[in-house]
Amino acid sequence: HKNLSFLSPDQIELAKMLLEMGQSHLFEHWPEPGVDDDEKRGFFDQVARLNANYPGGLVSYLKTARELLADSKVGKNPFDGFTPSVPSGEVLTFGDDNFIQFEEAGVREARNAAFVLVAGGLGERLGYNGIKVALPSESTTGTCFIQQYIESILALQDASCRLVQGGYQMEIPFVIMTSDDTHGRTLELLESNAYFGMKSTQVKLLKQEKVACLIDNDAKLAVDPHNKYRIQTKPHGHGDVHSLLYSSGLLNVWRDAGLKWVLFFQDTNGLLFKAIPASLGVSVTKQYHVNSLAVPRKAKEAIGGITKLTHSDGRTMVINVEYNQLDPLLRATGYPDGDVNCETGYSPFPGNINQLIFELGSYIEELTKTGGAIKEFVNPKYQDSSKTAFKSSTRLECMMQDYPKTLPPSARVGFTVLDTWLAYAPVKNNPEDAAKVPKGNPYHSATSGEMAIYRANSLILRKAGVKVDDPVHQVFNGQEVEVWPLITWRPKWALIFADIRSKVRGNCSISQKSTMVIKGRNIFLEDLSLDGALVIDSVEDAEVKVGGSVQNKGWIVENVDYSDASMPEEVRIRGFKINKAEQLEKYYSEPGKFSMTP
């Protein structure tokens, strides 16, 4: 009933809506009209944004919040009526005929795909001050995650176009979902590095908005503790990617351009693209509408479990059950021990690595119905067992892998299980937390994420016939890891196993203390015996045969203490640095055929 003449008619409507939705407390401490009018108008600008950015607006947000908060208060099981069981999916073994066929099918189809990276999260668990995609994925070249991703997409694009007869050059679209926390720094990283070789027009950034925070079970909106004319907001989760893609209009553009697949992936998995070609091949071959990539999962590991849920009314769905929900769900449905390892040493439920492949046509059809809205959840931290007051404000959240929850039963929802060593090594945990991970469970730290890359590359070369020495065990930042030879290559050298096999000939061997960095495309290893460090690069039109016995002091992995403030944060969080004592470094800058013997 205050004098609202300083507001526009739209703002007055928003004010009425807030009052009708029980939000009068927001205005309680506002001074009389004429004081702070600009700030007050700023408040309504924010309300207008919150209203516009949520499917159905704030009214819908608050109604859903009340329902979910009421369910949470009475402890309602979100899986009521559902019984979990272990689903069946495609289980791949790296390097066998089946795998090789899927890889080829995947590369062939990649020209019809678009890639979407969700990178709006700050990664609080990692405690790193920068954006996660800027972190080096490994230290031999310092290649950051986003560079690794972009080069992989470009290599896939190139390989796919070459495979198709008369292969015209096309561009695989690449979308990055950012948030206010990451947008500016992501753009800056791309611009200052010339988009790492991708055309800037090929990359699109979509920024997700935060959602309003809630202070009680009535869904009263939280006033920002730093500004009484603002509503406090927090991230809504990676599920926003669907509504953003839908409202951007990109999906229809892609469909009209003949694309068939959308691949979603996360910010810090340096192995990911070793798993993508085969998994896309599975989607194509099995005609999956939804395909989730998965790895064997240790019980209680902090990744979701892919689960088949069967309702008492007959409905079934294959869906990710988040790690904190799987154990209680199992206990409530006849598995008194909950989430435990079976005789294989792993949980029977495959671990979701949140790399999703959707078939574009059915995706558009579904989003046309839902507008991209994803089933949400709320996770309030209560002050006590009365469950009335919260320790801090909460908000609704959503996850991109919950997309299948609204799909009709006819939808083909499958998954692909890959070897962990090949597919999954995220960088999520800070050193202190990683060191506390139960023995045998993965650390998911910067240390393990990098060592996993050397391990995967070593194992892949072994599979191709190279004699690679066994690793040694070392402890960095309190985590014991395998240290394999430090082997890295650019995605354009080899993307799939067939590439590796065509580039490795004769009897090659690599000792444990070795480093091998391959940067050029047409580099062939032939009867190479490596005991030291070798860095080799070439221009596109050079063909280089690398052989003979290379021996030098090499590169040495040295411990760095996490608390050593003289070291950059990127180094401290992995607990080691590389001391480049001696190497053989060759660059072939002219076109032609060359043979490198030391």
The site for ligand UGB (CB under 6 A) is made up of: 118-121, 177, 179, 235-238, 266-267, 303-304, 320, 322, 352-354, 399, 401, 426, 428
With tokens 């607990």, the residue in question is: 575
Q: Which is nearer to ligand UGB, 266 or 307 (CB)?
A: 266
Shortest Cβ 437–ligand UGB spacing (Å)? 13
Measured at the alpha carbon of residue 520, what is the angle toward residues 518 and 522, in degrees to the nearest 5?
A: 110
Shortest Cβ 15–ligand UGB spacing (Å)? 29
Shortest Cβ 307–ligand UGB spacing (Å)? 11
Q: Which is nearer to ligand UGB, 267 or 359 (CB)?
A: 267
Shortest Cβ 572–ligand UGB spacing (Å)? 20
Q: Which is nearer to ligand UGB, 271 or 528 (CB)?
A: 271
Whether 557 and 483 have beta carbons less than 8 Å apart is answered as yes
State both tokens at 477: 């930042």
Whether 197 and 174 have beta carbons less than 8 Å apart is answered as no
State both tokens at 133: 């995609």
The CA distances from residue 450 to 315, 365, 584, in Å, are 42, 40, 23
Q: Which is nearer to ligand UGB, 160 or 445 (CB)?
A: 445
Closest CA to 533 of 512, 547, 551: 551
Q: Which is nearer to ligand UGB, 303 or 535 (CB)?
A: 303
Question: Alpha-carbon distance 154 to 224, whole Å?
Answer: 43
Q: Where are the alpha helices (DSSP H) in 141-261?
A: 145-163, 183-192, 240-248, 250-256
Question: Alpha-carbon distance 345 to 250, whole Å?
Answer: 43
Question: Alpha-carbon distance 462 to 468, whole Å?
Answer: 6
Q: Which is nearer to ligand UGB, 119 or 223 (CB)?
A: 119
Closest CA to 323 of 334, 345, 338: 338
Shortest Cβ 211–ligand UGB spacing (Å)? 10
Whether 524 and 543 have beta carbons less than 8 Å apart is answered as yes
Shortest Cβ 239–ligand UGB spacing (Å)? 8
Shortest Cβ 406–ligand UGB spacing (Å)? 18
The CA distances from residue 123 to 135, 213, 235, 424, in Å, are 12, 20, 12, 17
Q: Which is nearer to ligand UGB, 153 or 353 (CB)?
A: 353
Shortest Cβ 64–ligand UGB spacing (Å)? 17
Closest CA to 548 of 522, 495, 520, 584: 584
Which 8-state DSSP code applies to residue 390? E
Question: Alpha-carbon distance 327 to 174, whole Å?
Answer: 36
Shortest Cβ 455–ligand UGB spacing (Å)? 18
Question: Alpha-carbon distance 541 to 167, whole Å?
Answer: 19
Q: Which is nearer to ligand UGB, 302 or 557 (CB)?
A: 302
Q: Tell me the Ramachandran region of residue 258: left when phi exceeds 0, alpha when psi lies from -120 to 50, beta otherwise.
A: left
Q: Which is nearer to ligand UGB, 243 or 401 (CB)?
A: 401
Shortest Cβ 418–ligand UGB spacing (Å)? 13
Whether 512 and 473 have beta carbons less than 8 Å apart is answered as no
Whether 192 and 371 have beta carbons less than 8 Å apart is answered as no
Shortest Cβ 300–ligand UGB spacing (Å)? 13
Q: Which is nearer to ligand UGB, 237 or 547 (CB)?
A: 237
The CA distances from residue 276 to 115, 152, 184, 362, in Å, are 11, 10, 28, 20
Q: Which is nearer to ligand UGB, 263 or 596 (CB)?
A: 263
Question: Alpha-carbon distance 395 to 214, whole Å?
Answer: 6
Shortest Cβ 319–ligand UGB spacing (Å)? 11
Q: Which is nearer to ligand UGB, 15 or 317 (CB)?
A: 317
The CA distances from residue 106 to 72, 115, 277, 281, in Å, are 43, 14, 4, 4
State both tokens at 492: 């354009």
Shortest Cβ 90–ligand UGB spacing (Å)? 18
Q: Which is nearer to ligand UGB, 183 or 513 (CB)?
A: 183
How, if at all, do strands 214-216 and 290-297 pair?
unpaired
Label residue 85 exposed, middle or buried (CB < 10 Å: 0-12, 13-18, 19+): middle
